[in-house]
Chain A
Amino acid sequence: MSERANGLDVEAIRRDFPILERIIHGKPLVYLDSAATSQKPRQVIDTVSDFYANHNANAHRGIYQLGEEATERFEGARSKLARFFGAPSADTIVFTRGVTESMNLVAQGWGRKFLREGDEVLITEMEHHSNIVPWQMTVAVTGASLRYIPLTDDGQLDLSDLGSLLTERTKILSVTGMSNALGTITPLRQLIESAHAVGALVAVDAAQLAPHHAIDVQELDVDLLGFSGHKMLGPTASGGLYGKAEVLEAMDPMLGGGEMIYEVFHDRSTFKPAPHKFEGGTMPIAQQVGLGAAVDYLEALGMDAVRAHEEEMTRYALDKLLEAGATVYGPKDASTRGGAVSFWYRDVHPHDLATILNEEGVAIRAGHHCAQLVMRRFETPATARASFYVYNTKEEIDVLVEALATAGDIFA
Chain B
Amino acid sequence: MAVDELYKEIILDHYKSPRNKRELPGAAFTSSGNNPLCGDEVTVFANVEDDKITELTYQGAGCSISQSSASMMTETVQGQTVEEARELAGRFRSMMAGELDPDEVTFGDLVALKGVVKYPIRIKCAVLAWDTLQEALDEASHP
| CB contact between B65 and one of A350, A352, A367, A382 (< 8 Å): that residue | A352
Q: When the two chains form their complex, are residues A411 and B64 in contact, meaning their CB atoms are under 8 A apart?
A: yes
Nearest chain B CB to A255's CB is how many angstroms away?
27
Residues 291-319 of chain A, each 1 if its beta carbon lies under 8 Å from chain B, else 0: 00000000000000000000000000000
Asked if B105 is an interface residue, CB under 8 A from chain A, the answer is no
Q: When the two chains form their complex, are residues A410 and B38 in contact, meaning their CB atoms are under 8 A apart?
A: no
Q: When the two chains form their complex, are residues B12 and A410 in contact, meaning their CB atoms are under 8 A apart?
A: yes
Asked if A21 is an interface residue, CB under 8 A from chain B, the answer is no
A355-B6, A359-B2, A359-B3 given; A349·B37 CB < 8 A: no
Complex interface: chain A residues within 8 A of B61 (CB): 381
Residues 328-352 of chain A, each 1 if its beta carbon lies under 8 Å from chain B, else 0: 0000000000000000000001111
User: Considering only CB atoms, which chain B residue lies closest to A406 in the complex?
Assistant: B3
Nearest chain A CB to B106's CB is how many angstroms away?
27
Q: When the two chains form their complex, are residues A366 and B38 in contact, meaning their CB atoms are under 8 A apart?
A: yes
Q: When the two chains form their complex, are residues B62 and A381 in contact, meaning their CB atoms are under 8 A apart?
A: yes
Residues from 341 to 382 in A contacting B, C-beta threshold 8 Å: 349-352, 355-356, 359, 366-368, 372, 375, 381-382
Complex interface: chain B residues within 8 A of A410 (CB): 3-4, 7, 12
Residues 17-38 of chain B, each 1 if its beta carbon lies under 8 Å from chain A, else 0: 0000000000000000000011
How big is chain A's contact interface, by range?
Answer: 10 to 19
A351-B63, A352-B63, A410-B12 given; A381·B41 CB < 8 A: yes
| CB contact between B119 and one of A355, A366, A367, A375 (< 8 Å): that residue | A355
Asked if B77 is an interface residue, CB under 8 A from chain A, the answer is no
Nearest chain B CB to A388's CB is how many angstroms away?
23
| CB contact between B39 and one of A355, A381, A411 (< 8 Å): that residue | A381
Q: When the two chains form their complex, are residues B125 and A351 in contact, meaning their CB atoms are under 8 A apart?
A: yes
Complex interface: chain A residues within 8 A of B62 (CB): 349, 351, 381
Asked if B55 is an interface residue, CB under 8 A from chain A, the answer is no
Nearest chain B CB to A356's CB is how many angstroms away?
5
Complex interface: chain A residues within 8 A of B7 (CB): 352, 356, 410-411
Asked if B40 is an interface residue, CB under 8 A from chain A, the answer is yes
Complex interface: chain A residues within 8 A of B12 (CB): 410-411
Nearest chain B CB to A377's CB is how many angstroms away?
14
User: Considering only CB atoms, which chain B residue lies closest to A368 in the complex?
Assistant: B39
Nearest chain B CB to A30's CB is how many angstroms away?
16
User: Considering only CB atoms, which chain A residue lies closest to B39 in the complex?
Assistant: A381
User: Considering only CB atoms, which chain A residue lies closest to B125 in the complex?
Assistant: A351
A349-B64, A410-B12 given; A355·B38 CB < 8 A: no
Complex interface: chain B residues within 8 A of A368 (CB): 38-39
Complex interface: chain B residues within 8 A of A352 (CB): 7, 63-65
Q: When the two chains form their complex, are residues B38 and A382 in contact, meaning their CB atoms are under 8 A apart?
A: yes
What's the Cα separation between A189 and B61 when bound, in Å?
A: 40
Nearest chain B CB to A300's CB is how many angstroms away?
37
User: Considering only CB atoms, which chain B residue lies closest to A380 in the complex?
Assistant: B39
Complex interface: chain A residues within 8 A of B122 (CB): 351, 355
Residues of B participating in the A interface, judged by any CB pair closer than 8 Å: 2-4, 6-7, 12, 37-41, 61-65, 119, 122, 125
Residues of A participating in the B interface, judged by any CB pair closer than 8 Å: 349-352, 355-356, 359, 366-368, 372, 375, 381-382, 410-411
A sample of 12 cross-chain residue pairs with beta-carbon separation below 8 angstroms, ordered by A number, consists of A351-B40, A351-B62, A351-B65, A351-B125, A355-B6, A355-B122, A359-B2, A359-B3, A368-B39, A381-B41, A381-B62, A411-B7
Per CB-CB distance, the 8 closest pairs between chain A and chain B, nearest first, are A381-B39, A351-B63, A349-B63, A359-B3, A382-B39, A367-B38, A352-B64, A352-B63
